């Protein structure tokens, strides 16, 4: 039975991941800032699930609290982040404190507690970033993966696009939604697929990898269907027209592993190196 610490455990991914691993018999520590969300989550869990769950109120900016939460843990999944692009643009210092310095605190907690494996949740916006959120996630990736040289803990990352139904998603809004640019495309996946990607990474990682799922993409306006207000506002500050999940610079180290791509310094069993001309862009993949 594994003991798992999930930072950002009351978020959309965190809650889905917690329920999934509880079904596998794991013990879970839910680490998050919002005591109200923890209370709601606790009430929604079944009695058996509550027995295997511990709720820790804390912020990833608090290194001491993280160290306490990581004691005796087998697996850390780091999902805590400030992720709203406009908010991060307006509050860049806060984004750095949580997404970069907070990730550094999680790394230190893993190393001090002797955690064997840790996975970071990253974003397509970390590839050639043009906004504060993407820049902080890229920096978090770099810090996270470089930490494999600091001790025995193995650090890996997963990187994916928009999650359908996640808190704050445009798909969660009610009524007509203004479109920034009708040409804009995004990668899409279900939260259950994100959960399985992390579980797969935890099972296959050696340390230093970035696991990238194979995702389809669509124009945002097509995904919204009837919610499109017909009003086009123009791209917001920090918003891209299209997203990418792999950079050109990563391609020499990228392997096609069947159901996902893996950026790493070794050849995974049964994999194929991606072609030099490969481009994983939401524009290219869009239906």
Place of tokens 């039975």: 1
CA separation for the pair 270, 255 (Å, rounded):
10
Give the least confident one: 43-47, 108-112, 223-227.
223-227
pLDDT at residue 224 is higher than 80: no
User: pLDDT band for position 147 (50/70/90)?
Assistant: very high
Place of tokens 């392997």: 255
Angle in degrees, CA 268, 200, 255, rounded to 5: 30
pTM of the predicted protein model: 0.93
* Residues labelled catalytic: 125
Give the least confident one: 7-11, 88-92, 166-170.
166-170
Q: What is residue 149's DSSP assignment? A: G
Sequence ranges of the domains in the chain: 3-163+189-213+248-267
CA separation for the pair 65, 31 (Å, rounded):
10
pLDDT in tens, 191-222: 999 999 999 999 999 999 999 999 999 988 88
- Residue 169: predicted pLDDT: 53
Topology of the domain comprising 3-163+189-213+248-267:
Rossmann fold (3.40.50)
Q: For residues 189 and 196, is the Cβ–Cβ distance under 8 A?
A: no
User: pLDDT band for position 243 (50/70/90)?
Assistant: very high
Contacts of 36 (CB under 8 A, 6+ apart): none
- Residue 230: predicted pLDDT: 60
pLDDT in tens, 77-118: 999 999 999 999 999 999 999 999 999 999 999 999 999 999
Query: Which pairs with CB-CB distance under 8 Å and at least 24 residues apart come from 225-233?
Result: 227/173, 227/175, 227/176, 227/177, 228/176, 228/177, 228/179, 229/176, 229/177, 229/178, 229/179, 230/176, 231/176, 231/178, 231/179, 232/178, 232/179, 232/180, 232/181, 232/182, 233/178, 233/179, 233/180
- Residue 40: predicted pLDDT: 95
- Residue 226: predicted pLDDT: 55
Phi and psi for 45 in degrees, rounded to 5?
Answer: -75, 150
């Amino acid at each position: 039975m594994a003991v798992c610490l999930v930072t950002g455990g009351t978020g959309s991914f965190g809650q889905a991941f917690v329920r999934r691993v509880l079904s596998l018999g794991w013990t879970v520590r839910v680490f998050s800032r919002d005591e109200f969300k923890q209370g709601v989550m606790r009430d929604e869990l079944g009695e058996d699930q509550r027995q295997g769950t511990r709720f820790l109120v804390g912020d990833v900016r608090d290194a001491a609290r993280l160290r306490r939460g990581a004691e005796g843990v087998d697996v850390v999944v780091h999902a805590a982040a400030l992720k709203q692009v406009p908010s991060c643009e307006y509050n860049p210092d806060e984004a750095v404190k949580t997404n970069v310095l907070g990730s550094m605190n999680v790394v230190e907690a893993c190393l001090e507690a002797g955690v064997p494996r840790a996975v970071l949740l990253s974003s397509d916006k970390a590839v050639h970033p043009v906004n504060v959120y993407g820049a902080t996630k890229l920096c978090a990736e770099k810090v996270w993966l470089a930490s494999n040289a600091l001790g025995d803990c193995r650090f890996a990352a997963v990187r994916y696009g928009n999650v359908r139904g996640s808190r704050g998603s445009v798909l969660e809004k009610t009524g007509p939604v203004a479109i920034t640019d009708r040409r804009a495309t995004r990668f899409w996946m279900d939260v259950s697929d994100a959960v399985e990607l992390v579980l797969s990474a935890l099972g296959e990682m050696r340390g230093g990898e970035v696991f990238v799922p194979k995702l389809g993409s669509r124009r945002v306006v097509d995904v919204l269907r009837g919610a499109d207000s017909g009003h086009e506002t123009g791209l917001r500050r920090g918003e891209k027209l299209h997203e990418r999940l792999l950079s050109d610079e990563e391609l020499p180290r990228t392997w096609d592993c069947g159901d996902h791509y893996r950026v790493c310094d070794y050849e995974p069993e049964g994999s194929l190196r991606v072609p030099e001309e490969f481009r994983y862009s939401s524009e290219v993949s869009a239906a």
